[in-house]
């Protein structure tokens, strides 16, 4: 089922994180990519298509999720819900409440099966919560609470949909060959969605394509770190070249990010797709109560539940860590707790590099009063990579303005005026916003990750720009 070799660390028996720690925990103290679940060909994306079905004993989870998708359940907050749609949603939620409470024991030796369980149970929970009338208290029934929290404890992830559920493990290929590697061109279908629309699929697949494009960046980081251990003049020249290549890769990531506009309509995303994967942090005053948690004394109620967010991409965090920018952002640190734990270990290892790139650049640029040709070239290449990352974040702000801030403004206006036409992409801001185009009226707007969206984006962008070294 797992399509992995018997000696791959993900195929080894797993320790039961609810009871004890075993000696077969992967060693994440080396540069071995497999220990961090990073593939040299596909990066943070798995090299094989994620499994699309749980074991037969857990089939009822798959079936109830399929029923939700096939029934085209609607958001409970939708203002024009018909009585038939309300009844259909309630009947589906009743089926969820009547599910048996199943053991996850057979999943514990398979990281890949646990990922699928987290994904399926998370999707069921989000369907359950967001199809409810907004006036009802959010109580997650025990058949979902217990296995979801147990699976999440095994994976060391929060019990909520994350970027890895939506993006990393939510794609499929047309080919039936389980050994075929994913490519940017081949990523055209996702496994699960709330709306079964191409718009939603594209919103998940664009960042998946970016993960593949980022493989070259990871290789350039590795090559740079190898040269940094040498640190001579030849190494400085090679690192200069790597950084120039890295800037080009980041520019390609920016272009891929902006390509989401070609396949995902902003109005449909904001109104029909985005609300489904919001976390508790995005719903002021509506606490998520996990019923039945007392049945397992090993479980602990989660303290915060942010929804899936692009801020949970390990690739982008890796660029930050490598270049030495945004290291003090508490929000980015919090987003790392929503990443697969092996990817978190990768970031920790990268951050603990005893020879930080930024220090090397500064030293080379200031030696001999900054007159060395190699030092000046290295400084220029480093600053070019940092500015490429800043431009990537400008592009992110374009997307957020187009898909969230613009529609939010239209929604506010619609509350005051009647008969407004449905907005289109051309109605929204399509240039990189600055402090003037994102006004005071949008302060406090929450992202799906539960953050103050405007302040978060401004802060991260500005910190990136400030990382430019000025001699």
The residues, any chain, with a CB within 8 Å of residue 268's CB and separated by 6 or more, are 197, 199
Q: List 140's β-bridge partners, or say none.
A: 290
Q: Check pLDDT > 80 for residue 171.
A: yes
| pTM as predicted | 0.88
Q: Quick one: pLDDT at residue 32?
A: 46
16 lies in some domain: no
23 lies in some domain: no
Domain boundary among 294, 309, 324: 309
Q: Report how far Cα 197 is from the mean position of its chain's Cα atoms.
A: 20
What average pLDDT does the segment 323-336 reach? 84
Compute the distance between CA of residue 86 and CA of residue 429 in angstroms, rounded to an integer. 35
Compute the distance between CA of residue 315 and CA of residue 209 in angstroms, rounded to an integer. 12
Q: Check pLDDT > 90 for residue 8.
A: no
Q: Check pLDDT > 50 for residue 271.
A: yes
Q: Check pLDDT > 50 for residue 64.
A: yes
Binding residues: 396
* Structure-token pair, residue 114: 């646990």
Compute the distance between CA of residue 306 and CA of residue 311 in angstroms, rounded to an integer. 11
Residues 325, 460 within the same domain: yes
Residues 373, 398 within the same domain: yes
Q: Quick one: pLDDT at residue 218?
A: 96
What average pLDDT does the segment 371-397 reach? 93
Residues 458, 406 within the same domain: yes
The residues, any chain, with a CB within 8 Å of residue 155's CB and separated by 6 or more, are 111, 114, 115, 118, 340, 341
Residues 279, 398 within the same domain: no
Q: Report how far Cα 339 is from the mean position of its chain's Cα atoms.
A: 7
* Confidence band for 178, pLDDT divided at 50, 70 and 90: confident
Binding residues for heme b: 396
How wide is the angle at C-alpha 342 spanned by C-alphas 336 and 346, nearest 5°? 75
Residues 315, 373 within the same domain: yes
| Region class of 368: left (phi > 0), else alpha (psi between -120 and 50), else beta | left
pLDDT in tens, 212-242: 999 999 999 999 999 998 988 999 999 999 9
Q: Check pLDDT > 50 for residue 28.
A: no
Domain that holds residue 116: 44-206+266-309
Length of the chain: 471
Compute the distance between CA of residue 336 and CA of residue 313 in angstroms, rounded to an integer. 8
Domain boundary among 309, 343, 375: 309
Domain count, the chain: 2
Residues 336, 441 within the same domain: yes
Which DSSP symbol is given to 322? H
What average pLDDT does the segment 416-444 reach? 45
What helix, strand, coil percent values describe the chain, rounded to 5?
55, 5, 40
32 lies in some domain: no
Longest dimension (CA), the chain: 78
What average pLDDT does the segment 91-99 reach? 98
User: Is 324 in contact with 385 (CB distance < 8 Å)?
Assistant: no
Looking at 305-309, 341-345, 431-435, which range is the least confident one? 431-435
Domain boundary among 309, 341, 376: 309
What average pLDDT does the segment 270-292 reach? 91
Compute the distance between CA of residue 146 and CA of residue 150 in angstroms, rounded to an integer. 6
Residues 303, 330 within the same domain: no
pLDDT in tens, 334-355: 999 999 999 999 999 999 988 9
Q: Quick one: pLDDT at residue 15?
A: 54
Residues 192, 50 within the same domain: yes
Mean pLDDT of the chain: 87
Q: Is 253 exposed, middle or buried (0-12, 13-18, 19+ CB in 10 A)?
A: buried
Highest-pLDDT range among 23-27, 235-239, 438-442: 235-239
Residues 231, 367 within the same domain: yes
26 lies in some domain: no
- 223: domain CATH number? 1.20.58.480
Residues 171, 237 within the same domain: no
Residues 327, 281 within the same domain: no
Residues 285, 256 within the same domain: no
137 lies in some domain: yes
305 lies in some domain: yes
User: Is 216 in contact with 82 (CB distance < 8 Å)?
Assistant: no
Q: Check pLDDT > 70 for residue 13.
A: no
Q: Check pLDDT > 50 for residue 274.
A: yes
User: Is 210 in contact with 253 (CB distance < 8 Å)?
Assistant: yes
* Confidence band for 446, pLDDT divided at 50, 70 and 90: low
183 lies in some domain: yes
């Amino acid at each position: 089922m797992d399509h992995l070799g018997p000696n791959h660390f993900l195929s080894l028996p797993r320790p039961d994180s609810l009871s004890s720690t075993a000696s077969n925990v992967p060693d994440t103290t080396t540069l071995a990519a497999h220990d961090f679940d990073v593939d040299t060909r596909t990066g943070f994306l798995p090299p094989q298509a994620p499994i699309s079905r749980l074991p037969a004993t857990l089939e009822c989870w798959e079936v109830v999720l399929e029923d939700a998708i096939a029934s085209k359940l609607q958001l409970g907050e939708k203002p024009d819900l018909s009585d038939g749609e309300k009844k259909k949603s309630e009947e589906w939620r009743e089926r969820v409440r009547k599910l048996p409470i199943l053991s996850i024991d057979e999943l514990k030796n398979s990281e890949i099966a646990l990922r699928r369980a987290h994904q399926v149970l998370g999707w069921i929970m989000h369907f359950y919560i967001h199809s409810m009338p907004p006036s009802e208290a959010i109580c997650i029934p025990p058949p979902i609470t217990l296995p979801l929290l147990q699976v999440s404890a095994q994976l060391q992830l929060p019990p909520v949909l994350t970027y890895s559920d939506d993006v990393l493990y939510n794609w499929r290929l047309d080919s039936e060959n389980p050994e075929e590697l994913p490519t940017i061109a081949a990523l055209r279908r996702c496994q699960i969605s709330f709306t079964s629309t191409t718009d939603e699929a594209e919103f998940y697949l664009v960042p998946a394509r970016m993960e593949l494009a980022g493989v070259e960046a990871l290789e350039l980081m590795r090559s740079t770190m190898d040269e940094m251990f040498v640190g001579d003049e030849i190494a400085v020249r090679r690192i200069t070249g790597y950084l120039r290549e890295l800037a080009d890769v980041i520019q390609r990531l920016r272009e891929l990010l902006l390509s989401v506009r070609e396949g995902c309509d902003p109005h449909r995303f904001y109104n029909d797709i985005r609300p489904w994967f919001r976390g508790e942090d995005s719903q002021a005053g509506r606490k998520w109560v996990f019923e039945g948690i007392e049945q397992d004394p090993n479980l602990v109620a989660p303290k915060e539940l942010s929804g899936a967010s692009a801020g949970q991409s390990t690739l982008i965090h890796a660029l930050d860590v490598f270049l030495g920018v945004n290291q003090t952002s508490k929000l980015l640190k919090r987003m790392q707790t929503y990443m697969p734990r092996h990817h978190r270990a990768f970031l920790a290892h990268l951050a603990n590099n005893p020879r930080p790139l930024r220090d090397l650049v500064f030293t080379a640029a200031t030696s001999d009063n900054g007159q060395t040709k190699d030092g000046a070239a290295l400084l220029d290449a480093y600053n070019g990579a940092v500015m490429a990352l800043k431009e990537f974040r400008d592009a992110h702000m374009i997307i957020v303005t187009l898909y969230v801030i613009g529609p939010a403004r239209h929604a506010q206006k619609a509350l005051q005026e009647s008969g407004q036409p449905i907005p289109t992409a051309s109605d929204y801001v399509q240039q990189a916003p600055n402090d003037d185009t994102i006004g005071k009226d949008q302060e406090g707007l929450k992202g799906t990750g539960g953050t103050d969206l405007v302040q978060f984006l401004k802060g991260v962008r500005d910190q990136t720009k400030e990382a430019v070294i000025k001699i």
